[in-house]
Chain A
Amino acid sequence: MKKNLAVTFGGRTVEHDISIITANQLMHSVDTSKYNVIPIYIDRDGKWYTGEKLMNVGYFQKFDPKTKGIKRVFLSCAADPALYEYGKKQRPICTIDVAIPAMHGLHGEDGTLQGVFELSDIPYSSAGVVGSAVGMDKIVMKAAFKGFGFPVLDSVFFERDEYYSDGDAILNRVEQQLDYPVVVKPANLGSSIGVNIARDRDALVFALDVAAKYDRRLLVEKAVVSIKEVNCSVLGTPTDARVSAIEEPISSGALLGFEDKYLRSEGGSKGMKSLSRKIPAEISDEMADKVRQLSLDIFKALDLKGVVRIDYIIDTAEDKLYVNEVNTIPGSFAFYLWEPVGVSFTDLVDCLVAIAEKQMREKKASEFAFDSTVLQKVASGLKIGTKTSK
């Protein structure tokens, strides 16, 4: 029987529009003989909608919840995978067999939505709550990398309010610990929004001001001068994963900016694919092996699943590899890295569904219920100490 495949996209994030494009690419690559696609659009206010029209990317130029065929929906979060219509009647519309979150950034890629799927008992294709959350916060992610012994660039982090209340102290701290040029990043943002490079103190101030508009936690990182960036995708579950081709994105400036990453269009296609890139990356076989092995190690260490893209920085002067960050839901699902190794976008969707379902079986195999006599004891007047095991 055909499975109901929900694709969620949009969301309360600066990458709302990019998510629509990613979802659209995926929905039109789905094998419709196997799946009923249920588009679930989350608008900028966080309201959920479904309807046939949401499959059409052009429709979002003028999204209107009152359009005929568009229904506002919600999940009950009560270990119940049904999708409900919002309103007085609140009747279930359908059951969600598998969900593919095609969300980027906060409220979708960061573990929050994953938490909702966990509560609803819906199998989903992205990393779990912990993997997603770690993959979103660049500061914690760096600490995790360090803890696992993966190579990372030196950095300094602080709270926005620390910077605001004593800017000079923070600037001094950065200058003591790092040499210019440095890269300033908001901790919790995907893409390159709010990311800027600074070559002196004045530029650092402006870069921090920009980043501080986007996040409460700020990260300043040593910038590599003779830089080569390479990306690699991993697909699977922690114990059964494989790696894609390795790409080398070509940026127009010193840093891959938001416009570069998503909007530069060649040949009219939309999204990540149109970015100019070299596949495979021009690196030595030895370095490529290193990237592939590190990618698998990271995938396992951070408890990732589904399809992820891991971004690396190579210091070509010293021939050193650094892991930069993990995207737990990469733009366009990094399908362009899988096509060269013989996995079409349609195959990729099949893999994602299988991964989601496997994880759900694993979850169900673990015990949740545990017959406890605690409540009976309480009812019969026995004193329960604070040390009673949970």
Chain B
Amino acid sequence: MPFFTYIQIALYFLAAAGMTVASAHPVHMLQLESYKNRGFRRWVRNNSAHVFRFPVIVSVAGLLLAPVANLIFPARTAGRAISSAVMSLAYIVAMLDYAKRSRVKNAKKPLVMTSRAKRLFAAIALVYVVVCGALWALDAFVLEGTALSGLPLFLLMLLAAAGVLMANTLVSPVEKAVQRWYMNDARRILARRDDLIRIGITGSYGKTSCKFILGTILSEKYNVLVPPASYNTPMGLTRVIREQLKSSHEVFIAEMGARHVGDIRELCELVRPKYGLLTSVGPQHLETFGTIENIAKTKYELIEGLPEDGCAFFPADNEICRELYEKTTIEKHLFGVDYDGAVSARAENIRCGSFGSRFDLVIGEERIACETRLLGKHNIANIVGCACVAYRLGLNPAQIRLGIRKLQPVEHRLQLVPTAGGVTVIDDAFNANPSGVRAAMEVLSAFEGRKIVVTPGLVELGEREAEENRAFGQVMAGVADIVLLVGPKHTKPIYEGLVESGFSESAIQVFKSLSEATEALWKLAKPWDVVIFENDLPDNYNE
């Protein structure tokens, strides 16, 4: 009876189309996870109730009803055809309706129909055509005439997430080829630009800050292309080169991120930098690198990637970086703040105040009096490194000084905030790790005047939390004159740390919320006081 067979085939393929259309939501999630299967699986796990509850209910209903219908309407009758068509269509409608309901309304980042997303949808369609074809074959050739006839269709919705995963795996070789093509294209674009000054920046910490500092300083003389914050991977830089690099650009600054040995080499092959700036070597991403030697080796790939007439810059205050400097054979420079040996550029006579930081930049024959709104020794060290590069690239002292003066602090990171009444306020609300907090206390100690710390302490550090907060209190005791703590229970270890280190209990005040603390602060603050807001917590920490 071919007529019934046709209807059956039509229903299966309609279901395949329905499943493809209904994949919009999982594809959206996959896109947000940068098309990584691992991230997508994590999303499915974390949202399993939402992902599976409704499909399971509907599918089970279908699986139970189908045999009932099989009993009522014998095979190859009009009744059977109608009942299976009605049930199948209801199933497809439920599928689409569910997809529509799970779509994220007013998503911050809605699904973008990029070429990649389109390729993925094509693959999804292919996967479902094959799956439905197989299910139909099972239905038509194995289950035909049995009580289970018509059942396979109702398995489809259970496969939703798996179908998307499968399709994503299927297109991955295609995507790799596409990426390779884009990267080669970026390389071709750069190959035509012999005039372009290419600078690579890498390091465990501070490379993003350095990228922006160097970009600001070099803009006093050149047209500089500085990629946005997180663009430090081969694909990220490829995109910037293909989309943003204009013939008017004279300098390209590439921040190079690494998680594995070989990452920087790959980036160097793409960018072919002539100048390399190393910011630091430390135990960042130690879990993927294994050893600190591997980290140093990977960072050094930048220097190895420089040509014979290239030029490398190393921070003198970092011992590992000094060793790397020693073994470098091309033109090389050291820069630093604390290191006593010979360097190409150093900062001397550093002072802090309501103006920010002032220091003398000693570079070549020059001594340049500099001022910046940035605070903290790590920032000064980064500035000196970038100034060293800028000097090498022909900026004169006036340009370097001007560029340094124009640097803007990142919001809520040791940011000087204007206030009336002569009180200096430092907003360090985004600082949330123990070493950062210690650096902030060091910055505060460099200020003159009465020092006030307002803080709810550190959170989300697990079992180390109490211990770290106690240590925070101990450091604070040596710096602060007045401490305002937010959250009595949570800040108890800080309180204890302060008192243990001999801090006067009468100079500590504890509040239930930040608003209470600030209210008290403005009552006691006087001109020349320096106030630092250290870390900020979400509202749910108000006690």
Which B residues are CB-close (under 8 A) to A380? none
Contact of B354 among A167, A202, A213 (CB under 8 A): A202
A30 sits at the interface (CB 8 A):
no
B418 & A164 in contact (Cβ 8 Å cutoff): no
B28 sits at the interface (CB 8 A):
no
A164 & B402 in contact (Cβ 8 Å cutoff): yes
Complex Cα spacing A202 to B421, Å: 9
Contact of B406 among A164, A200, A203, A206 (CB under 8 A): A164
Contacting A at CB under 8 A, from B391-415, are: 398, 401-402, 405-406, 408
Closest to B403 in A: A164
Complex Cα spacing A164 to B404, Å: 9
Complex Cα spacing A164 to B373, Å: 11
Which A residues are CB-close (under 8 A) to B422? 200, 202
Contact of B402 among A165, A209, A213 (CB under 8 A): A165
A205 & B355 in contact (Cβ 8 Å cutoff): yes
Complex Cα spacing A290 to B422, Å: 41
Which A residues are CB-close (under 8 A) to B420? 203
Complex Cα spacing A206 to B422, Å: 11
A282 sits at the interface (CB 8 A):
no
B418 & A161 in contact (Cβ 8 Å cutoff): no
A210 sits at the interface (CB 8 A):
yes
Which B residues are CB-close (under 8 A) to A202? 354, 422
B427 sits at the interface (CB 8 A):
no
**Count, chain B residues at interface, CB 8 A:** 13
A210 & B401 in contact (Cβ 8 Å cutoff): no
Which A residues are CB-close (under 8 A) to B402? 161, 164-165
Contacting B at CB under 8 A, from A124-165, are: 161, 164-165
A165 & B354 in contact (Cβ 8 Å cutoff): no
B418 & A209 in contact (Cβ 8 Å cutoff): yes
Complex Cα spacing A205 to B355, Å: 8
Contact string against A for B residues 358-377, beta-carbon threshold 8 Å, 1 for contact and 0 otherwise:
00000000000001010000
B398 & A209 in contact (Cβ 8 Å cutoff): no
B401 & A209 in contact (Cβ 8 Å cutoff): no
Closest to A206 in B: B418
Which B residues are CB-close (under 8 A) to A205? 354-355
Closest to A160 in B: B406
Contact of B405 among A165, A200, A210 (CB under 8 A): A165
Closest to A207 in B: B418
Closest to B406 in A: A164
Contact of A165 among B373, B398, B408, B418 (CB under 8 A): B398
Contact string against A for B residues 369-388, beta-carbon threshold 8 Å, 1 for contact and 0 otherwise:
00101000000000000000
Which A residues are CB-close (under 8 A) to B408? 213
A167 & B371 in contact (Cβ 8 Å cutoff): yes
Which A residues are CB-close (under 8 A) to B418? 203, 206, 209-210
Which A residues are CB-close (under 8 A) to B406? 164
Complex Cα spacing A202 to B416, Å: 13
Which A residues are CB-close (under 8 A) to B371? 167
B415 to chain A, nearest CB (A): 12
Which A residues are CB-close (under 8 A) to B405? 164-165, 167
Complex Cα spacing A213 to B405, Å: 12
B243 to chain A, nearest CB (A): 14
B354 & A209 in contact (Cβ 8 Å cutoff): no
Which A residues are CB-close (under 8 A) to B373? 209
Which A residues are CB-close (under 8 A) to B354? 202, 205
A165 & B401 in contact (Cβ 8 Å cutoff): yes
Closest to A205 in B: B355
Complex Cα spacing A167 to B358, Å: 12
Closest to A197 in B: B420
Complex Cα spacing A161 to B406, Å: 9
**Which of A161, A202, A206, A210 neighbours the largest number of chain B CB atoms within 10 Å of its CB?**
A202
Complex Cα spacing A213 to B373, Å: 13
Which A residues are CB-close (under 8 A) to B401? 165
Contacting B at CB under 8 A, from A194-231, are: 200, 202-203, 205-206, 209-210, 213
Complex Cα spacing A338 to B422, Å: 45
**Which of A167, A209, A210, A213 neighbours the largest number of chain B CB atoms within 10 Å of its CB?**
A209
Contact string against B for A residues 169-196, beta-carbon threshold 8 Å, 1 for contact and 0 otherwise:
0000000000000000000000000000
B354 to chain A, nearest CB (A): 6
Closest to B373 in A: A209
Complex Cα spacing A210 to B418, Å: 9
Complex Cα spacing A213 to B422, Å: 22
Which B residues are CB-close (under 8 A) to A210? 418
20 residue pairs bridging A and B, Cβ less than 8 Å apart: A161-B402, A164-B402, A164-B405, A164-B406, A165-B398, A165-B401, A165-B402, A165-B405, A167-B371, A167-B405, A200-B422, A202-B354, A202-B422, A203-B418, A203-B420, A205-B355, A206-B418, A209-B373, A210-B418, A213-B408
Using CB atoms and an 8 Å cutoff, list the residues of chain A in contact with chain B: 161, 164-165, 167, 200, 202-203, 205-206, 209-210, 213
Per CB-CB distance, the 8 closest pairs between chain A and chain B, nearest first, are: A206-B418, A164-B405, A165-B402, A164-B402, A161-B402, A202-B354, A164-B406, A165-B401
Known: A165-B398, A213-B408. 8 other contacts (CB 8 A): A164-B402, A164-B406, A165-B401, A165-B405, A167-B371, A167-B405, A205-B355, A206-B418
